Structure 1
Amino acid sequence: MSTPISEYIFSDAQNLKELERLQAIEQIFDPKTRQRILTTGITNKWQCLEVGAGAGSIAQWLATIVGESGKVVAVDIDTRFSANVQSSNLEVLQADVRHLALENQSFDLIHARYLLIHILDFEVALSKMLDLLKPGGWIVIEEPDFSVAKAIVGENRMCQSFQRVNLAIQQMFADKGMDYALGGKLPGIFQKYDWQKLSLENDTPVSAGGSGIAKMMKMSTMQLAQKYIATSKATQSDIENFYLFADDPNTSAIYYATVAVIAQKSDVKLNPVALV
């Protein structure tokens, strides 16, 4: 059964606040994403698929890399913020990747960041992406793992609230049948396939209050506060303490890890073991 678009946790976010959050993610994480993609050897003429295009920065960057002889297709269930990203070799599609119909198209590179964690049947989305990948093509997937979140330095009451908000994040995903620690499971998922090359990265920064990651997580919490409170794992007081913690330059925490997989598809047809 497919997850309805309305179940995306940020689907009811206000336009301006959601754009601000997406742009914060781009500012923080795009440099590392670009480095990962460049390790594939991407060059002009490549055909690329960007899944979950967000505000469109990576899709636009890919379009400059592949040049006029290449092409980028950017797909998102919500194209509010990517539809106006313009380039002659960039096509933006509003679609669910699980049901994406692209006639006779395959790709040299497929990239997705922070996408699969929001999809109940994420293995369907992943399988669809692998089907669209050319033999010898590359896939770069980056997913968060919130299970490593930990307050390290801060007042005791704020550290306790930080932990309760993280428990609320876990419960919110669990109530939807999703896994807030999906990123940490990516290596096991990908190792069930036959790859020519496979590399893994785990980026787990310790972030001070007021840093980019802390500010971005505060933005997310402001949008999702009522959903967190509805889990009964965190209170309004915990939410407010989380804001104070995220703003305070004297605090530090691990907010989450980003686990990345960079894999090259075998030249022969993949024979995956069933995902669990």
Structure 2
Amino acid sequence: MAEHDTEGRYLLDNQQSEAGIRFGALAELFDPVTFRHVDALGIGAGMRCWEVGAGGPSVPLGLAERVGPTGSVVATDIDVSWTKDIAGGAIEVLSHDVAADPPPAGGFDLVHARLVLVHVTDRAEALRRMIQALRPGGRLLLEDADPKLQPLLCPDESGPEERLANRLRNGFRTLMAARGADLAYGRTLPRMLREAGLSDVQADAYFPITSPACTILEDATVRQIRPLLIEHGLATDEEIDRHLANVATGRLDLATAPMISAWGRRP
């Protein structure tokens, strides 16, 4: 999902050219985790799913495979640039703000959001609307980052390249926080689901410590936020060039923040 800042622009704008690269890297990193949970929840033929803040196409397509021609998938986002081409068959694509717009009509067997709510200012209202959209017995699966739980791009800070990488990652977190992101939101998900009245709540967490997809993700992310890092005095042009060159070597062990997955059932 695109991340909105206080001046009406986007920090990670779906329409920027790097967005497609980021979505591909995020899919490679996290789709296996997401679909491990989706499959464990028993999502299958004939079911109806709502993918919130879809961003890229991979999760809606994976859900459509599971529900088949007798099921349906509604994929929503504020900006549907990267999902509009998959509309048709079992998949409906809608422009939608989860915290402001009514849920799509009809109840859902699964409502899923990945790396969305951490960026939404009115998270409580978004969560209320997602739970409202569940059928009795329907499942909510929320997956969100917790950058404060593991804030480093390079957990093994063994040299100047890793120290520079971690300083720029700190700048990224500063930009996120300034736009209303809750950098410790992921850890709260199990409690939020229980307090919202869901039953059978469970959660786990995952993050890669080194992966080629992490390298791709970091390059695309830094290129997207480069002007803001410079504008806010968080990095210089020279530092960003040096960091991108270090990333390009493939020798840095780059991690992500932990992604916490929490799920529960509407009674």
Same topology, TM > 0.5: yes
Are 1:186 and 2:189 an aligned pair?
A: yes
1:197 aligns with 2:196: no
Equivalent residue letter for 1:28: L
| Shift in alpha-carbon separation, 1:11–1:220, aligned structure 2, 3 A | same
Q: Which moved more, 1:244-253 or 1:61-70?
A: 244-253
- The aligned length equals 262
Q: Equivalent residue for 2:137?
A: 136
- The AA in structure 2 aligned to 1:19 is G
Q: Which residue of 2 aligns with 1:236?
A: 237
Structure 1 residues 212, 12: CA separation in 2 closer, same or farther (over 3 Å shift)? closer
Query: SS at the partner of 2:229?
Result: helix
User: Aligned to 1:207, which of 206, 210, 215?
Assistant: 210
- CA deviation after TM superposition for structure 1 residue 233, in Å: 3.0
Q: Deviations over 1:98-118 (max 9, x none)?
A: 233357511110011111122
Give the Cα–Cα distance (whole angstroms) in 1 for the partners of residues 92 and 161 of structure 2. Answer: 45
Relative to 1, partners in 2 of residues 1:188 and 1:245: Cα closer, same or farther, differing over 3 Å?
A: farther
CA contact (8 A) 1:149 1:254 kept: no
CA distance in 2, matches of 1:227, 1:253: 22
Q: Return closer, same or farther for 1:17/1:167 CA change in 2, 3 Å cut-off.
A: closer
Which residue of structure 2 lines up, in the alignment, with residue 157 of structure 1?
160
Deviation at 1:59, TM superposition (A): 0.8
Aligned to 2:124: 123
Q: CA deviation at 1:93?
A: 0.4
1:12 positional shift: 7.0
Runs of 5+ unmatched residues, structure 1: 268-276
* 1:177 alignment partner AA: G
Verify: 1:10 aligned to 2:12, yes or no.
yes
- Identity over aligned pairs, percent: 25
* Alignment RMSD (CA, Å): 2.4
The 1:5–1:128 alpha-carbon spacing in structure 2 relative to 1, beyond 3 Å, is farther
Question: Quick one: distance in 1 between partners of 2:167 and 2:29?
Answer: 25
Residue 51 in 1 paired to residue 52 in 2? yes
Kept in 2: contact 1:45–1:70 (CA 8 A):
yes
Change (3 A) 1:30 1:12: closer
Q: Is the 8 A contact 1:168 1:229 kept in 2?
A: no
Of 217-226 and 151-160, deviating more is: 151-160
TM (norm. structure 2) is: 0.88
Post-superposition shift, 1:126?
Answer: 1.2
TM-score, with normalisation over the residues of structure 1? 0.85
Distance change in 2, residues 1:48/1:123 (3 Å): same
Change (3 A) 1:103 1:215: closer
Alignment of 1:24-103 (within 5 A): 24-102=25-103
Deviation at 1:163, TM superposition (A): 2.0
- The letter for the 1-side match of 2:192 is I
Q: Which residue of 2 aligns with 1:254?
A: 255
Q: 1:231 to 1:238 in 2, by over 3 A?
A: same
| 1:170 alignment partner AA | R
Unmatched runs of 5 consecutive residues or more in structure 2: none
User: Which amino acid in 1 is paired with 2:193?
Assistant: F
- Structure 2 residue matching 1:229: 3-state secondary structure: helix
CA distance, structure 2, for counterparts of residue 39 and residue 240 of structure 1: 43
- When residues 56 and 6 of structure 1 are mapped into structure 2, their CA distance, relative to the original with a 3 A threshold, is farther
Determine the C-alpha separation between the residues in 1 that align with 2:118 and 2:7. Answer: 14
Cα distance in 1 for residues equivalent to 2:196 and 2:103 = 23
Cα offset, 1:127, TM superposition: 1.2
Q: Deviations over 1:81-139 (max 9, x none)?
A: 11110431211101112233357511110011111122111221111111111121101
1:12/1:193 Cα in 2 relative to 1: closer, same or farther (>3 Å)? closer
Q: Is the 8 A contact 1:206 1:252 kept in 2?
A: yes
Task: Describe the superposition over 1:177-222 as per-residue Cα deviations: whole angstroms up to 9, x where unpaired.
Answer: 22233223323333323322111111132115xx111221221111
The 1:131/1:4 distance shift into structure 2, 3 A limit, reads: farther
